[in-house]
Amino acid sequence: MARQPLIAGNWKMNLNHLEAIALVQKVAFALPEKYFAKVEVAVIPPFTDIRSVQTLIDGDKLLLKHGAQDVSEHDSGAYTGEVSAPMLAKLGCDYVVVGHSERREYHAETDEVVNRKARAVLKNQMAPIVCVGEPLEVREAGGHVEHSTSQLINGLKGLKAEQVRQVVVAYEPVWAIGTGKVATAADAQEVCAALRAALADKYGRDIADEIRILYGGSVKSSNIGELIGQTDIDGALVGGASLNGDEFAKLSAMAAGGPLP
């Protein structure tokens, strides 16, 4: 079964809700509907923007999907400052990013935390985008494949095969995030192929072949074509380039196989 490419724009901690509306309108205007038959496009704004983005997408029947950048592992209760998976589901989120390297690094999130968050997302009928990827010193020591596959298998621990089918994986080498230093397509493919092989070992070839594996790290309209041309790369988790509506539309169109008119 062919995997539909996914381009997900992680806005990180950028744009207030008014700016969010302007950006979504710009993307929707710049990306003709016909492209959505070939690529799924999602915006992942900060929590404070989600309601505005949801209202715009629903109200104007836009074909964009939306999601959140993080989630609490708890469903409700005395967890000041946290946002739960049921709350995000109620806001119509399709995707929730878990285990982004910025969460792992600045908020000390371990594979166990990532696993609990992924479970919370799945329990609430959304798809987790589980991020993995090595820091520079691990890459230089040649441990990138082992590091990333182990983060993935730990992150999915205890999930049933039907749940694993819903998961999206994002391989983001830490040294390529926001640095302008994109991994070569061959480097990215090496790790994405290894991630798929690890999924096949654990859950069977059929399931591994269904799961979308994204690459993330300095993706732009100028390099997405080569990345997505790789056998095991099914799209991208885009940071900086997702904040420019025209560039994000162009990048998404490239992932659908053709430039914008």
Ligand X SMILES: O=C[C@H](O)COP(=O)(O)O
Site for ligand X in 85-114 (CB under 6 A): 100
Query: In terms of Cα–Cα distance, which of 259, 258, 252 is closest to 5?
Result: 252
Q: With contact defined as beta carbons under 8 Å apart, do 195 and 153 qualify?
A: no
Q: How far is the CB of 78 from ligand X (least distance, A)?
A: 30
As a whole number of angstroms, the distance between CA 130 and CA 151 comes to 9
**Binding status of residue 238 toward ligand X by CB under 6 A:** yes
E-strand stretches of the chain: 6-10, 40-44, 65-68, 95-98, 127-132, 168-171, 212-216, 235-238
Q: How far is the CB of 239 from ligand X (least distance, A)?
A: 2
Q: Applying CB under 6 A, which part among 52-60, 79-87, 114-122, 238-246 lies near ligand X?
A: 238-246
Task: Give me the residue whose beta carbon is nearest to ligand X.
Answer: 239
Q: Which is nearer to ligand X, 35 or 171 (CB)?
A: 171
Q: How far is the CB of 26 from ligand X (least distance, A)?
A: 18
Which member of 5, 128, 217, 245 binds ligand X (CB under 6 A)? 217
As a whole number of angstroms, the distance between CA 124 and CA 77 comes to 17
Residue 115: beta bridge partners? none
Site for ligand X in 52-81 (CB under 6 A): none
Give the catalytic positions in this structure.
100, 172
Site for ligand X in 119-158 (CB under 6 A): none
Site for ligand X in 158-187 (CB under 6 A): 172, 177-178
As a whole number of angstroms, the distance between CA 77 and CA 87 comes to 12
Tell me how many helices (H) and strands (E) the chain has: 12, 8
- Known binding residue 67? Answer is no
Which member of 45, 155, 239, 245 binds ligand X (CB under 6 A)? 239
**Binding status of residue 221 toward ligand X by CB under 6 A:** no
- Known binding residue 11? Answer is yes
DSSP symbol at 127: E
Angle at the Cα of 220 from the Cα atoms of 211 and 91, rounded to 5 degrees: 55
- Known binding residue 218? Answer is yes
Q: How far is the CB of 203 from ligand X (least distance, A)?
A: 25
Contacts of 141 (CB under 8 A, 6+ apart): none
Annotated binding-site ranges:
10-12, 178, 218, 239-240
- Residues within the interface to ligand X (CB under 6 A): 10, 100, 172, 177-178, 216-219, 237-241
